[in-house]
């Protein structure tokens, strides 16, 4: 998904300071949760978000963090709209975001969830330990080469 950040650049910059509560090395803009930001003539700030899953447990936290960041910077008239279509996709993660995940020990999503690379030794000789990791969007894997366990950010399309 391509997001136009040429309008309201000051607001986009503030939102880039809002970390993902589950993966704080990336922010909600990088994650692709923030879809649009607009400012009306009367000063109302509208932020459109798409949660990573329809029933994402962090959705309310996303909203609270966005409101807090904007309010602490003088924006008191804020509305947050949840847009579920199109559904969020891991395709929206930039290459830079994928590299941040890998550097932090989380294997980024692959197109088919079949080849999962170990973030420690870069081997693709890996196996799933559990389809359910510490958060709903991740699985727990183990590397057959270096034996290290790691999280894998599940592909979601």
Domain boundaries, the chain: 9-88, 97-153
pLDDT of residue 111: 75
pLDDT of residue 17: 97
Site of tokens 């503030």 = 14
Could you say which residues of the chain have pLDDT below 50? Answer: none
> For residue 150, what are the β-bridge partners?
141
Return the CATH fold of 9-88: GMP Synthetase; Chain A, domain 3 (3.30.300)
């Amino acid at each position: 998904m391509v997001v136009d950040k040429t309008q309201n650049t000051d607001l986009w910059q503030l939102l880039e300071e809002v970390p993902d509560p589950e993966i704080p090395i990336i922010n909600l803009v990088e994650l692709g949760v923030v879809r649009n930001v607009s400012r009306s003539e009367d000063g109302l700030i509208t932020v459109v978000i798409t949660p990573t899953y329809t029933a994402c447990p962090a959705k309310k936290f996303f909203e609270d963090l966005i409101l807090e960041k904007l309010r602490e910077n003088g924006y008191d008239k804020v509305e947050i709209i949840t847009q579920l279509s199109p559904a969020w996709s891991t395709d929206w993660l930039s290459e830079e975001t994928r590299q941040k995940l890998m550097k932090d020990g989380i294997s980024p999503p692959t197109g088919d969830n079949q080849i999962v690379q170990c973030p420690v030794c870069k081997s693709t000789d890996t196996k799933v330990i559990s389809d359910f990791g510490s958060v709903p969007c991740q699985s727990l894997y183990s590397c057959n080469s270096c034996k290290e366990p790691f999280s894998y950010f599940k592909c979601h399309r």
